[in-house]
Structure 1
């Protein structure tokens, strides 16, 4: 009788597994896993997520995770927006110090939060990062000198730097396969963050800023009393980020993602999380704890014993090694990881350098934008940032077609390259605004898709680490661009043509990516 019961139970488990097989498309990395048990369980989780479908829970994730995108771009732009007025007040010896500070913070944040997301989970990093960012952003507005301002900007960027690592991973690991293109669309929040930064600057800087003595010889010296605009910008944006962090804690009450729990071997929690979503939104879910257990036990332990998720000691160099090793587990995964990291290096150098060299180059070639008032300057800045929101919207549509992610990036990179080369012919303010808008739109087709593509093709157990290193490499190039801008000749066209040519390289690399997520499900 006991034997008959075991056979009956096994049949039920198999039926639950096979009933959901027909719901999903093929898994992107199904042939790349070194742990067949993990592969089988990941397939069943993907089936369950597809069976549940898209719910209001996913819309909440889209918005709340989008906050992270917005905050990353917001903090990055705030230092550029406010640095000029802070320099007039503090008169530092190294005027590009804030650029270095924000990129160092972003770099350390991307690596720290990326690794922590794979070691202790997505949940804690998701809940803490925005709160840390908001506190130091508010405090930055009260900085008494240049060094303290740089410190608080760096710490704020540290909190913000993990968001692009975490938000894409968390959203992707709950997302049904037919809606994975929304990961690209979510990059529209990046443009929204830029727009908010521009609007806040437009509201405060023209009215509450001192004049530059180099432009206005009779201007009064810049002091705390007559130069509070940049401080108001940090106070306002820091408060906005604080509200966002509270909304994350109160609205979503995020549970650990099922794909992270699979790698942990916590089958009961995997089933509980997915069944809880299904029950709340009245959706079917055939996945059970028994079905997951029937697949066997995922490999755990030391790397020498075949572990694909963790080392024996969680907080150790061995743990870091496991996650790095997992990003090169097979030949195709190794090629994919290497090309992704190279792409992040290229875009991290090309875009900041272009922005640094272009104004001086245009001035040396006789471009005349006319004298713009501060209000008009920040208005134009906001308009250009508004256009950046719609690049990911078009990219999301393109990714859902047979162009897929790879050729969406190819098109985005090449069109951006064309506008970059053409921009060198700008000669008046109207042309300047028009090309700024076009570049903001086209660049985010490539950028938004790369942000989404990166976590889609990384193994789930090592997604945070791989994503963190990708964005970390991008930040290293941002630091390098500030150093180059300090020592190089800004009047020569050579750096501009090199930067634009890098987009051709990025297009070629995108075409060579070994994985295409269109029609597939991420691990």
Structure 2
């Protein structure tokens, strides 16, 4: 009897060793390779990556590309809408601090990024994915009915809270279903960011010139701005909120998202993970050789003092947060990578809003200096500039799929953007003003779109939401600071432009020394 028991143990040990040998042969194509501190989690992640590669790209991923892209679009839409309406709303409400809406939006997005990022790692991607846009849409619609500046700021903040989690969730969900050869699509998905900007521009172009009061500082004998003669900014909020509401319904009804396989691994739910992948393979008639037995042969995820490397013994404790923070510094290389990513997000968090969020101010002030005072032309130009932003990530996606990889795509994008920022300070005509702003918006989205994709690609799956959420959180903190800097520096002068150019030089240098290059490799 004892001999039979010993034989059984030997057989089980041989199965594990064979599974481990298979895993070693698969490590060659993975970004983190042996960076994981739990070999069992590492082994299971390789098997899942193999299964996703075997299934390939299906209509399910195309649906995710569109529906996750909605989140990108909404983030930029809400951020720019507040800057578009701020001027007209201020004429009606006469606030003591004109940059209040910008700060409200960034505070909401800061809290949203941290909240949704942590919950994505604690309770999963699915709940946040299905609810964040709905929350955003409700408060965006209500913002249009605001009776005063403070209430408007509150609803802008709450709407931004819902939108703020999308950049965390959308990249994680899409990446965790993507075959490795198609990971460049994560960069291309940032084109949706430009689409959101374009929609914001169209709404502004349609409503602001036609349904707004005149600024008494610019037009003599202008009537006082009241609710009845200044509804344009309210229409912009109503239209934006309604569009986001439709997007949130489409997310719930079209995709019927299942929890991502890589999150389920960290939860120890091997059976659900295998079931999810097999159901996709069966639905789209694709092969999938992953079995529950192969997953279980890798062993059990357990590190003693925790329930696993992915969670503390209690999910609803401070220890859970610490587990995810510690996981982002599990090894020296991962720690360096995490730090560089957060610094990059901090820098772009200052550079981007100093340009894009205050772009209406630049266009208006420079247009006025060239003799262009038409609100219609100003918002037409704004729409054209935002349209150009769509195509930066398209080029970036192509570059990322070449040996340039993610790192040098960011380097090139940042340096070219820096050059055009410096050149923009020498603009001397209205046509040059429009041409340079279009070019800058195109180029800066090469860097920004690639950074969006690079961040989740190199973060450990079990801590991806937390790492991404903190990165975007630093971005939002600097967005708040940008409102203060813009007030002091004055956005009608070239000073903020010089600041942006200098920041892009630093970002290019950091991108060049990132420790990981995802090109040709697979994410965890």
- Deviation of residue 429 (structure 1)? 1.0
Look up the match of 1:116: 119
- Deviation of residue 211 (structure 1)? 0.5
Query: Are the equivalent residues in 2 in contact too, given 1:25–1:519 (CA < 8 A)?
Result: no
- The worse-fitting range, judged by mean Cα deviation, of 220-229 and 11-20 is 11-20
- Deviation of residue 217 (structure 1)? 1.9
In structure 2, the CA distance between the partners of 1:427 and 1:355, relative to structure 1 (3 Å rule), is farther
> How far apart in 2 are the matches of 1:371 and 1:117?
48
Q: Secondary structure at the match of 1:31?
A: helix
- Deviation of residue 197 (structure 1)? 0.6
Cα displacement string for residues 162-198 of structure 1 (whole angstroms, at most 9, x for unaligned residues): 0000000000000000000000000000000000010
> How far apart in 2 are the matches of 1:117 and 1:246?
20
Cα displacement string for residues 438-476 of structure 1 (whole angstroms, at most 9, x for unaligned residues): 001000000000000000000000000000000010010
Look up the match of 1:254: 257
Instruction: Give the counterpart of 1:265 among 250, 268, 293.
Output: 268
Look up the match of 1:477: 478
> How far apart in 1 are the matches of 2:379 and 2:341?
35
> How far apart in 2 are the matches of 1:298 and 1:93?
56
1:225 aligns with 2:220: no
Cα displacement string for residues 457-515 of structure 1 (whole angstroms, at most 9, x for unaligned residues): 00000000000000010010010011122234667655533331111110010000000
> Which aligned pairs between 1:78-89 and structure 2 lie closer than 5 A?
78-89=81-92
Look up the match of 1:428: 429
- The worse-fitting range, judged by mean Cα deviation, of 208-217 and 498-507 is 498-507
1:514 aligns with 2:515: yes
- Deviation of residue 378 (structure 1)? 1.1
Look up the match of 1:400: 401
Query: Are the equivalent residues in 2 in contact too, given 1:300–1:311 (CA < 8 A)?
Result: no
- The worse-fitting range, judged by mean Cα deviation, of 489-498 and 479-488 is 489-498
Runs of at least 5 residues in structure 2 that lack an aligned partner in the other structure: none
Cα displacement string for residues 407-426 of structure 1 (whole angstroms, at most 9, x for unaligned residues): 00000000000000000001
Look up the match of 1:203: 206
> How far apart in 2 are the matches of 1:275 and 1:363?
56
> How far apart in 2 are the matches of 1:521 and 1:175?
10
In structure 2, the CA distance between the partners of 1:363 and 1:262, relative to structure 1 (3 Å rule), is closer
> Which aligned pairs between 1:157-196 and structure 2 lie closer than 5 A?
157-196=160-199
1:32 aligns with 2:35: yes
Q: Secondary structure at the match of 2:369?
A: coil
Query: Are the equivalent residues in 1 in contact too, given 2:366–2:433 (CA < 8 A)?
Result: no
Query: Are the equivalent residues in 1 in contact too, given 2:337–2:516 (CA < 8 A)?
Result: yes
> How far apart in 2 are the matches of 1:53 and 1:12?
28
Look up the match of 1:445: 446
Query: Are the equivalent residues in 1 in contact too, given 2:396–2:450 (CA < 8 A)?
Result: yes
In structure 2, the CA distance between the partners of 1:461 and 1:199, relative to structure 1 (3 Å rule), is same
> How far apart in 2 are the matches of 1:365 and 1:62?
38
- The worse-fitting range, judged by mean Cα deviation, of 262-271 and 366-375 is 366-375
> How far apart in 1 are the matches of 2:520 and 2:352?
31
> How far apart in 2 are the matches of 1:522 and 1:167?
15
- Deviation of residue 353 (structure 1)? 2.6
In structure 2, the CA distance between the partners of 1:494 and 1:370, relative to structure 1 (3 Å rule), is closer
- Deviation of residue 14 (structure 1)? 8.5
In structure 2, the CA distance between the partners of 1:285 and 1:465, relative to structure 1 (3 Å rule), is same
Look up the match of 1:502: 503
1:309 aligns with 2:310: yes
In structure 2, the CA distance between the partners of 1:331 and 1:19, relative to structure 1 (3 Å rule), is closer
How big is the alpha-carbon RMSD for the aligned residues of Structure 1 and Structure 2? 2.5
Normalising by structure 2, what TM-score?
0.94
> Which aligned pairs between 1:279-358 and structure 2 lie closer than 5 A?
279-299=282-302, 302=305, 307-354=308-355
In structure 2, the CA distance between the partners of 1:338 and 1:148, relative to structure 1 (3 Å rule), is same
In structure 2, the CA distance between the partners of 1:486 and 1:164, relative to structure 1 (3 Å rule), is same
Runs of at least 5 residues in structure 1 that lack an aligned partner in the other structure: none
Look up the match of 2:150: 147
In structure 2, the CA distance between the partners of 1:19 and 1:514, relative to structure 1 (3 Å rule), is closer
How many pairs are equivalent? 521
Look up the match of 2:140: 137
